[in-house]
Amino acid sequence: MKRVAIVLAIVSMLTILAPALLTLAQPAYTPHENPAAIKSSPDLVALLSVYSDSFSLAALGKYSNAQSVIKELTRANIPDQLKGLANRFNSLAQEIFIRLNNADTALDSASALLAINQLESVKTKLDSAEINIREAESLLKDIGAAAKSLKSALGVLAVPISQPIESAYVRLERSLLRLQELIAELARLQQSLTERQKVKASRLVPTELTLSVSPISAFVGESVTATGALFGSVPLPGRKVTLLLDNEPVSVTTQPDGAFSAQITVPYKYTSQVTLRAVYLPSGDDTATYLAGESQPLKITTKFYLSQLDVVAPKKAHPGFPTAIGGELSSTGEEVERHIKILWDNSLLTEKRVKGKFSFEVTAPPDTQPGKHTLTLLALPQQRYSGATEDLTVEVTTLPIQADIQTPSLIVLPGKAQVKGKASWGTVPINDAEVRLSFRQSLTQATTTADGSFATFIDSTLDLSLIGPQEITISITPTEPWYEPLTTKKELFTINPLNLALTLFAFVSLGLMVYPKVRAGARIPREEVISPLPSPEPSLVSPPPHPRYEFVGIKGRILAAYLGTLEIVEKVCQARLQPHFTLREFLKATASKLPAALPPFTELTALTELALYAIRHLDEETAHRAEKLADTIKEELHREHT
Amino acid sequence: MSIHKFLAIITAVVLLILAGVVWFFPPNDDFRMENPFWNGTRETFTYPFSPLKSLADLPQGQGQGAVLVLIPYVDFTAGDLEAIKSFVTRGGTLVLADDYGYGNQVLGYLGLNARFFATPLLDPLINYKNQWVPSIFHLESSPLTNGIESLVFNHPTALMNVEPAATLARSSAFSFIDLNNDELKEDNEPFGPFPVISQHNLELGQIILIADPSLFINSMEEMPGNNNLVRNIATLSATQLFVDQSHLPQSSLQQTKNLMANVRGYLTTPLGTLGLTALALSLTLMPFWRERR
């Protein structure tokens, strides 16, 4: 008992400690939590901090960084009650950053233009800066009010308002102050530049530039002649004038009479016209004397052959499968050989040389996913011929294959079974396709031949199954990417004769063991108890008498001895052997009233139980002993009651 | 009936009931493909993904193009690491999804510079419900991120030493690495964005690093984008898709299940079947034999 207790204690300790050992082997952090059980807890302090950070960035002139931060906030996890206010705050912040950026850029440009005496442009830039600064001032007031509203709203959500929220709000207020200082600084700069612009305008001599071009119309790539002259109060010789053809600069120097002339090539820009203008920017000593000058812009009409690309292509394609496309590349000029690029989802697929009508094959990349894709044909511009492009939407699909699989209707385990089949797409056989057959725990591979057929054997090992249907999975993967891999399942009827035989053997053995006992058990009562004798009708008031039996054999003699004694004992003790009583229970019930006859009646009861329930056969001596005990009991009871 | 017989019968009945419960009750271990509960991956890794019981079973053919999803929560033996390296260098694709496990052991053996931070990445603003469940919106265009607008991670970490060109997904600018695990942004804790998915080439194969294996669990599969990521992983291979089960932590239930599966596996061999039948016959015929004696 002591040993059992020790073993139980050790087992209990191990059971308690085992989960702890498992826990030790786990990662240091929780790998995940159930998203359905997660309580939403937006970080309001972080939200305020991000606003103050973005305003601080803007105060440092990093407007695009500040804009990025606010843009990212649009995806933030913000409580529904705050979303409207936060969105308004975000849009105000974005607007002020744009205004400040515009003002800053305009002032920078104005400053640069002022340095080269381009006073007209300076004025435009300064006006723009002024408008933006005024807007920024107005927006800052709105943001200040919105920040107060945001604080109140956060206070409602976090009652009482926490120290971290209060601190974050103070930081936000400080960053807004810095932004206010920046706006004031920009306004001061704008004022200063305006003053300088006015001073220069009153002191410097204006300049005048004339410009003409001939011819006024030319093919792309051809040259035109630009002529003009630069005057101050007098013609200005030896000055550098910049000709800007669609902002592409060409420099010329003025002649002694202030005139200039230059050959300019019309760029390969396939637009209807380009703009030419001349600009004079004072340099050296001129910066203290002359203002910058600019000619009126001139329009040069450009000529070129307009190209048109018409493409006919099927609406559907398959990965890796060549598709024929055709079309025509036409133009208003002579027909020449042109270079075409073919793009698949904006990636170069192939290049072709075509002249007029064309037809060729394009192949969608083998790894293309099913779905809609874009096929682009791009005719490159060539000399006087403009470029052309055509986008086509192509739906990529894979071709479903069919398989005719032949499996045996019956498989005997363990063993091999042949599986044959043929894979095709319509009438086209699928060759070199990989065939994988998965049956129970075995995997077999095969390859289809030129006519799409395959034949292989599947192995089936011995297991605990007896008889019944089992599933085989066949998957066919063609090498051609345009075919869709196929997976199919079939049921095979299997018989496992060895297991069947073993099971049968087990049942037969069991039957052989059990059957004789069942038979013996059934025979004994039939041998010993012949038939009940008819008993008199029971009276209504007294209990029914015991049925009378005629006993034969050893067991019969023992039972007869007991029954003979039983009647006397019932009478003497005035107790009846009820149907639900066992013999022992009856013995116990009558023991107190049979002082002298108790030992023999106890022994007789035991012998009777043996006769009724024991498997072993009883001998003659036992029967004799039972009868003797019955006589003894009768004598004892008779003596006691006389 | 004697007390010994009674105890033997009770023990046998209890053992049988326990064995039945263990056999039929689904496992509840993290990331298990048989686990249908919130933390399993049965709903995520459906056909054509198949479980891999041992890395020794990986296909090693040249240019075989198979995909292996590896969640490294148990450390690796030298043999395991060599099997992974051989698989990748011969053309396989390794999807290594880790946060706080043994992913860096694999990366070190493969000779990559990239590493898992192995400390939590928190995002107090761009998240699903709280900072432990960050939303990932910054995705580069690639076959792996095709058709995905956002992903939701669950208790992730981040990647480090990843070139910008190799980065496929980044956390938001508000995310940070919680180095001291106090759930607050400290001055010494770096701000995002951090790479959370990256792609690297190694000889003929490629390695995809994901800084959170939990986006594969059943309950995360309903999040927008997460199921598309699994679909895109499936399209990386036209041949075989494996999900390693040999480096996942095992509960007592799972260990018992494995033990029972091993026993069953042994019994299904010819020798085992014969042995079982012989045992059954011996037990059945024992009383008969005793009586004869």
Q: Are A55 and A178 in contact (CB under 8 A)?
A: yes
Q: Do A367 and A407 share a domain, yes or no?
A: no
Question: What is the per-residue pLDDT across A573-606, written as a single tens digit (0 to 9) for each?
Answer: 888 888 888 888 888 888 888 878 888 999 999 9
CATH number at residue B190: 3.40.50
- Whether B135 and chain A come into contact, CB under 8 Å, resolves to yes
Let me know if residue B150 belongs to a domain: yes
Let me know if residue B33 belongs to a domain: no
User: Residue type for B52, please?
Assistant: L
- Half-sphere exposure of residue A40, counting CA atoms within 13 Å on the CB side? 11
Residue A159 has pLDDT above 70, yes or no: no
Let me know if residue B206 belongs to a domain: yes
Select the more confidently predicted residue: A20 or B29.
B29
Mutate to test the interface with B, among A24, A32, A82, A475 (most CBs of B within 10 A): A32
Let me know if residue B35 belongs to a domain: no
- Tokens read off for A391: 């986008």
Question: What is the per-residue pLDDT across A27-80, written as a single tens digit (0 to 9) for each?
Answer: 567 789 898 888 887 788 888 888 999 999 999 999 999 999 999 888 888 888
Let me know if residue A14 belongs to a domain: no
Which among B74, B125, B131 is the nearest to A50, CB-wise?
A: B125
Q: Do A198 and A297 share a domain, yes or no?
A: no
Q: Do B86 and B162 share a domain, yes or no?
A: yes
Q: What is the pLDDT of residue A546?
A: 60
Exposed e or buried b per residue across A268-294, where buried means at least 16 C-beta atoms within 10 angstroms of its C-beta = bbbeeebebbbbbbbeeebbebbbbbb
- Tokens read off for B260: 């029972």
Closest residue, chain B, to A368 (C-alpha): B143
Helix, strand, coil percentages in chain B from 3-state DSSP, rounded to 5? 35, 20, 45
CA distances in angstroms from B272 to A494, A496, A499, B216, B280, listed in the order given: 20, 15, 12, 38, 12
Contacts of B129 in chain A (CB under 8 A): 35, 38-41, 77
For residue A461, what is the enclosing H or E element? none
Q: Do A564 and A600 share a domain, yes or no?
A: yes
Q: Do B183 and B206 share a domain, yes or no?
A: yes
Q: Do A390 and A435 share a domain, yes or no?
A: no
Q: Do B202 and B92 share a domain, yes or no?
A: yes
Q: Do B259 and B135 share a domain, yes or no?
A: no
Let me know if residue B289 belongs to a domain: no
Residue B181 has pLDDT above 90, yes or no: no
Write out the residue range of the structural domain in which residue B77 sits: 49-244
Question: What is the per-residue pLDDT across B192-220, written as a single tens digit (0 to 9) for each?
Answer: 899 999 999 998 899 999 999 999 999 99
Q: Do A70 and A186 share a domain, yes or no?
A: yes
Which among A18, A30, A46 is the nearest to B174, CB-wise?
A: A46
Q: What is the pLDDT of residue A527?
A: 45
Residue B81 has pLDDT above 70, yes or no: yes
Let me know if residue A552 belongs to a domain: yes
Q: Do A147 and A260 share a domain, yes or no?
A: no
Q: Spell out the residues 6+ positions from residue A611 whose beta carbon is closer than 8 angstroms to its own.
A: A554, A555, A558, A559, A618, A626
Q: Do A155 and A215 share a domain, yes or no?
A: no
List the beta bridge partners of residue A473: A438, A489
List the beta bridge partners of residue A490: A472
pTM, full prediction: 0.62
**Inter-residue long-range contacts of A350-356, CB under 8 Å, 24+ positions, other chains counted:** A354/A329, A355/A329, A356/A328, A356/A329, A356/A330
Q: Give the 3-state secondary structure of residue A143.
A: helix
- Whether B290 and chain A come into contact, CB under 8 Å, resolves to no
Residue among B1, B90, B39 at smallest CA distance from B218: B39
Do residue B129 and residue A41 have CB atoms under 8 angstroms apart? yes
Q: Do B211 and B257 share a domain, yes or no?
A: no
- Tokens read off for A82: 């705050």
User: Residue type for A329, please?
Assistant: L
Q: Do A147 and A122 share a domain, yes or no?
A: yes
> For the packed helices A497-528 and A553-573, what is the interaxial angle rounded to 10 degrees?
60
Let me know if residue B101 belongs to a domain: yes
User: Residue type for A96, please?
Assistant: I
| Overall number of domains in chain A | 5
Write out the residue range of the structural domain in which residue A342 sits: 309-396
- Tokens read off for B162: 């990843």
| Residue recorded with tokens 């508000």 | B174
| Residue recorded with tokens 């019994």 | B267
Q: Do B269 and B157 share a domain, yes or no?
A: no
Let me know if residue A433 belongs to a domain: yes
CATH number at residue A317: 2.60.40.2410
Do residue A35 and residue B154 have CB atoms under 8 angstroms apart? yes
| Overall number of domains in chain B | 2
Q: Do B178 and B274 share a domain, yes or no?
A: no
Let me know if residue A2 belongs to a domain: no
Q: Do B211 and B277 share a domain, yes or no?
A: no
| Gap from A79 CA to chain B (nearest CA, Å) | 10
Q: Do B17 and B105 share a domain, yes or no?
A: no
DSSP of A72-141, one letter per residue?
HHTTS---HHHHHHHHHHHHHHHHHHHHHHHHHHHHHHHHHHHHTT-HHHHHHHHHHHHHHHHHHHHHHH
Q: Give the 3-state secondary structure of residue B38.
A: coil
Residue A547 has pLDDT above 80, yes or no: no
Contacts of B124 in chain A (CB under 8 A): 43, 46
Which among B38, B73, B288 is the nearest to A27, CB-wise?
A: B73
- Tokens read off for B10: 């009770």
Q: Do B265 and B131 share a domain, yes or no?
A: no
Residue A359 has pLDDT above 90, yes or no: yes
Question: What is the per-residue pLDDT across A442-501, written as a single tens digit (0 to 9) for each?
Answer: 788 899 999 999 999 888 776 777 788 888 888 888 888 889 888 888 888 888 887 788
**Inter-residue long-range contacts of A452-455, CB under 8 Å, 24+ positions, other chains counted:** A452/A422, A452/A423, A452/A424, A453/A420, A453/A421, A453/A422, A453/A423, A453/A429, A454/A420, A454/A421, A454/A422, A454/A423, A455/A418, A455/A419, A455/A420, A455/A421
Average pLDDT score over residue span B133-152: 92
Do residue A464 and residue B132 have CB atoms under 8 angstroms apart? no
- What is the distance between the alpha carbons of residues A625 and B58, in angstroms, rounded to a whole number? 82
Q: Do A187 and A80 share a domain, yes or no?
A: yes
At B31, phi and psi to the nearest 5? 70, 0
